[in-house]
C-alpha cells in the first residue's frame, strides 16, 4: 500500500511511518521544513517537501498520484495561535481532501481530536476554541466528500510506549489519554480495514487489543 502522510514529521506520523515500513507498505511524509527529511527517511518513509499552508490542491494532487491512501496527521501544534489552527487543522485538511478527490485517492484517515463535533464550551480559551472549531470544520468538510474517509478522534496524547490496548468507539467515549504509539497502530489498522469508512471514532487507552477493537467497528 502507498500511503501519503500530511504532517510527515509529526510525532504520530513518524511512529506510523515506522509501522508501515515494518510491514512492507510504502509511505511518503509531507513536510514543510527540508531539514526534517532525514528523520522521515530514518523512519522508513520518503520525504516530500510541501508546505500545506502555501500549496494548491492541484500541487498536492500531483504528489498523491498513485497513492492508495492519505493520512492527515498535521496540526499547528502547541504554541500556535488561533490563526494557524484555522490554516493547518482546518484548511490543510480541506486541501488534502480536495487533492485526494482530484487524484482519485479514495481512502482518507483524518486525525481529529476528542472535543470536536460540538461547540467549544463557554469560557474555554480563545486558542482552544479555535482548535476545536477548526477540527469540527475539517471533519464536516470530509464527511461531505465522496471519499472513503474515517475520522479518528484521539483523547489527550502521551509519549508513553505502546500498550496495544485501546478503547475505540463511536462518540461519546469518556475522556482519557492515549499513547501516540497506539494511535499510530490504530491508523495502520484502519488503513487495512476499509470497512471502517464513513465512521467517526473516538480513541483512548483501554482494555481491547487494537485488532479486536478495529474488527468490532467494521460494519457488516
Ligand atoms: N496533543 C494532543 O493531546 C492531541 C489530542 C488529540 C488530537 N491531536 C491531534 O493529533 C494530530 C497529530 O498530533 P502529533 O502530536 O503527532 O502532532 P505534531 O507532532 O505537532 O505534528 C504535527 C505536524 O504537522 C506539521 N505541519 C504544521 N504545519 C504544516 C504545514 N503548513 N505544512 C506541512 N506540515 C505542517 C508540523 O510540522 P512542523 O515541524 O514544520 O511544524 C508537524 O510535523 C494533530 O492534528 C493534533 O491536533 C492532538
- pLDDT confidence of residue 48: 98
Closest residue by CA, ligand 1 atom 41: 76
Concatenating the DSSP letter of every residue in 105-168 gives --EEEEE--EEEESPPPTT--HHHHHHHHHHHHHHHHHHTSSSEEEEEEE-EEE-PPP-SEEEE
What residues are in contact with ligand 1 under a 6 Å CB criterion? 7, 9-13, 30, 32-33, 51-53, 73-77, 88-89, 111, 113, 154, 156-157, 180
45, 60, 75, 168: which to mutate for ligand 1, most atoms within 8 A of CB?
75
Closest residue by CA, ligand 1 atom 21: 10
- pLDDT confidence of residue 218: 87
Dihedral in degrees, nearest 10, Cα atoms 210, 196, 53, 35: 30
**Which ranges of the chain does DSSP label H, i.e. alpha helix?**
11-22, 37-42, 57-64, 82-84, 91-103, 126-143, 180-192, 210-217
Q: Catalytic pick from 17, 131, 185, 186?
A: 131
Closest residue by CA, ligand 1 atom 8: 113
C-alpha cell at 11: 510525532
Which atom of ligand 1 lies closest to the CA of 135? 47
- Give ∠ CA 128-149-71 in degrees, rounded to 5: 65
Per-residue pLDDT of the chain (220 residues; tens, 9 = 90+): 999 999 999 999 999 999 999 999 999 999 999 999 999 999 999 999 999 999 999 999 999 999 999 999 999 999 999 999 999 999 999 999 999 999 999 999 999 999 999 999 889 999 999 999 999 999 999 999 999 999 999 999 999 999 999 999 999 999 999 999 999 999 999 999 999 999 999 999 999 999 999 999 987 4
Closest residue by CA, ligand 1 atom 45: 75
Residue from 65, 87, 68 nearest 76 by CA: 87
Told to judge if 53 belongs to the known catalytic residues of this protein, a careful annotator would answer no
Ligand 1 centroid distance, CA of 70 (Å)? 15
Judge residue 49's burial from the number of C-beta atoms within 10 Å of its C-beta, 0-12 exposed, 13-18 middle, 19 or more buried.
middle
Residue from 42, 27, 34 nearest 73 by CA: 27
- pLDDT confidence of residue 128: 96
Ligand 1 centroid distance, CA of 11 (Å)? 7
- pLDDT confidence of residue 207: 98
- pLDDT confidence of residue 56: 98
- Do the Cβ atoms of 29 and 40 come closer than 8 Å? yes
- pLDDT confidence of residue 26: 98
C-alpha cell at 98: 480536495
49, 74, 86, 179: which to mutate for ligand 1, most atoms within 8 A of CB?
74
- pLDDT confidence of residue 107: 98
Closest residue by CA, ligand 1 atom 34: 7
Ligand 1 centroid distance, CA of 220 (Å)? 33
Amino acid at each position: 500500500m502507498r500511503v501519503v502522510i500530511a504532517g510527515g514529521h509529526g510525532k504520530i506520523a513518524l511512529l506510523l511511518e515506522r509501522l508501515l515500513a515494518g510491514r512492507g507498505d510504502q509511505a511518503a511524509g509531507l513536510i514543510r521544513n527540508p531539514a526534517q527529511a532525514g528523520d522521515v527517511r530514518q523512519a522508513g518513509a520518503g520525504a516530500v517537501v510541501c508546505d500545506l499552508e502555501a500549496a494548491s490542491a492541484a500541487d498536492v494532487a500531483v504528489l498523491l498520484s498513485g497513492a492508495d491512501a492519505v493520512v492527515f496527521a498535521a496540526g499547528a501544534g502547541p504554541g500556535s495561535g488561533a490563526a494557524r489552527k484555522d490554516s493547518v487543522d482546518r484548511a490543510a485538511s480541506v486541501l488534502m481532501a480536495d487533492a485526494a478527490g482530484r487524484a482519485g485517492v479514495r481512502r482518507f484517515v483524518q486525525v481529529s481530536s476528542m472535543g470536536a463535533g460540538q461547540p467549544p464550551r463557554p469560557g474555554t480559551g480563545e486558542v482552544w476554541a479555535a482548535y476545536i472549531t477548526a477540527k469540527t470544520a475539517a471533519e464536516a468538510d470530509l464527511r461531505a466528500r465522496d471519499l472513503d474517509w474515517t475520522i479518528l478522534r484521539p483523547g489527550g496524547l502521551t509519549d508513553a510506549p505502546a500498550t496495544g490496548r485501546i478503547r475505540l468507539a463511536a462518540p461519546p467515549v469518556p475522556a482519557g489519554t492515549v499513547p501516540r504509539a497506539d494511535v499510530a497502530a490504530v491508523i495502520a489498522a484502519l488503513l487495512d480495514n476499509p470497512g471502517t469508512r464513513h465512521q467517526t471514532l473516538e480513541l483512548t487507552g483501554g482494555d481491547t487489543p487494537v485488532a479486536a477493537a478495529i474488527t468490532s467497528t467494521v460494519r457488516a
